[in-house]
Amino acid sequence: MLLQQKAAVHHLVAPVADQVEPAAWVTWNTKKNTLPSFFMSTKKVDAINEDECVKKISSLEKKIKTLKKEVKTLKQELKEKEDKLLRSYADLQNYKKRMEKEMQLREDDIKRKYLSELVDLNELLKKAYEDSNPKDGLRLILDNLKNFFEKEQISYIECIGKPFDHTLHHAVSTVEMKDCEDGTVIDEVKKGYLVGGRLLRPSQVIVAKKKN
């Protein structure tokens, strides 16, 4: 190691020494372990302390080793974070696929449920058509629909005689009237329904407009 450090010092001094005539050199001071001072024409070359150079080189080597360790540590940490990120991404993709599958299964269940109700209604209509007394068959169909509506919380919107409500009603026309409050629903063109308290279909109504 010492030989390498001295060689480095020589490397620093050699370019300057080559430019100086041999007669300009003074005797090496072995006690102080310093490089010789020399003159070239009128220009003075400062003395270089070999020990100081060796210390600086040694310090730089230590710093380089420390930096290499830090770089190695950072690379390891980066790799761990990359692995963690890849695992998280894979988990997210798997979760997304599971949710899509569950949603599809729920949609299929809902679809089967209502198709089953539709099949029952179709059978009742066939029986009503083939029955000698169609009214009995139609009454049976209406009773089944009523039970279905109650089960699904489907309710009829009462609107005639009530003030027009744009959240529940859709005005198809207005009629001028003397003996009626302005904006009162006077007739129903198409029934409206709620499901679970939320609007399923608005009532199509005719609204009164007070005649001046």
Could you give the residue range(s) of every CATH 2.30.22.10 domain in the chain? 154-210
* CA dist., res. 43 & res. 145, Å (int): 114
Pick the CATH number of 154-210 from 3.40.1360.10, 2.30.22.10, 1.10.287.3240, 2.60.120.10: 2.30.22.10
Q: pLDDT for 141-166, tens place per residue?
A: 888 888 889 988 999 999 999 999 99
> In b/e form, how buried is each residue of 17-34, taking b as 16+ CB within 10 angstroms?
eeebeeeeeeeeeeeeee
Q: pLDDT for 189-206, tens place per residue?
A: 999 999 998 999 999 999
- In three state form, how does the secondary structure of 138-164 look? HHHHHHHHHHHHHHCCEEECCCCCCEC
Q: Say if pTM beats, i.e. exceeds, 0.75.
A: no
Residue 72: beta bridge partners?
A: none
